[in-house]
């Protein structure tokens, strides 16, 4: 089964490469960079944190990212230890720096879809749509740039949504009351 998944992953990357262009490369590099260290998600959480009625949403976004990254980056990647597709490329074929850490699941994607999950529970429809578009663009950029396989991203979407939803439950149960008392 894993061989079939790997063949599909390789086929997807090979097909995406055919459609690269300089302007698409710039867009995908920018999208991927926005997801580095969850920067875009922290930036998006700032207006929520500033506006008092939305503070719990902003705090839940940050908690969701931290919870998800702990499970994904610290635990899962070190267990699975999957090599990245970019590790097999020459320096001339790379569009961004080679990431040092393992591939499965995509950390950019898990963080992005954790925020999507939090938004689904806490935000308006337009906010959910905008966050979802951003999350999909970041996730696709990771395949386009050959730093992740399709399966890394698909599983990252699923896990991000599960971890993000779980973070809402944990946040509501253990953190929201405390924050309401001090804010």
In the chain, what percentage of residues exceed pLDDT 70?
Answer: 97
Which H helix or E strand runs over 57? helix 55-69
Q: Which whole-number Å values give the CA distances from 15 to 12, 20, 110, 139, in the listed order?
A: 5, 10, 24, 17
For position 44, what pLDDT does the model report? 94
Could you tell me if 161 and 64 are in contact, meaning their C-beta atoms sit under 8 angstroms apart? Answer: no
For position 90, what pLDDT does the model report? 66
Average pLDDT over residues 50-60: 92
For position 91, what pLDDT does the model report? 65
Average pLDDT over residues 44-54: 93
For position 127, what pLDDT does the model report? 96
Q: How far apart are CA 55 and CA 24, in angstroms?
A: 36
Q: Please choose, from the candidates 142, 104, 149, 140, the residue with its C-alpha nearest in 3D space to the C-alpha of residue 13.
A: 149
Does residue 183 have a pLDDT over 80? no
Binned at pLDDT 50, 70 and 90, residue 179 comes out as confident
Average pLDDT over residues 175-180: 81
Query: 93-102, pLDDT tens digit by residue?
Result: 677 777 888 9
Report the predicted TM-score, pTM, of the whole model to 2 decimal places. Answer: 0.92
Binned at pLDDT 50, 70 and 90, residue 115 comes out as very high
């Amino acid at each position: 089964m894993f061989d079939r998944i790997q063949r599909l992953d390789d086929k997807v990357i090979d097909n995406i490469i055919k459609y690269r262009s300089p302007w698409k490369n710039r867009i995908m590099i920018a999208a991927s960079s926005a997801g580095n260290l969850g920067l875009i998600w922290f930036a998006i959480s700032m207006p929520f944190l500033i506006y008092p009625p939305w503070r719990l949403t902003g705090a839940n976004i940050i908690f969701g990212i931290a919870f998800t990254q702990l499970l994904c980056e610290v635990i899962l990647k070190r267990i699975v230890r999957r090599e990245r597709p970019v590790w097999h490329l020459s320096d001339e074929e790379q569009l961004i720096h080679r990431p040092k850490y393992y591939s499965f699941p995509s950390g950019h994607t898990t963080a992005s879809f954790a925020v999507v999950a939090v938004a689904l529970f806490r935000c308006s429809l337009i906010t959910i749509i905008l966050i979802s578009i951003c999350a999909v663009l970041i996730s696709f950029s990771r395949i386009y740039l050959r730093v992740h396989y399709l399966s890394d991203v698909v599983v990252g979407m699923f896990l991000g949504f599960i971890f993000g939803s779980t973070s809402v439950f944990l946040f509501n149960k253990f953190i929201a009351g405390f924050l309401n008392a001090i804010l």
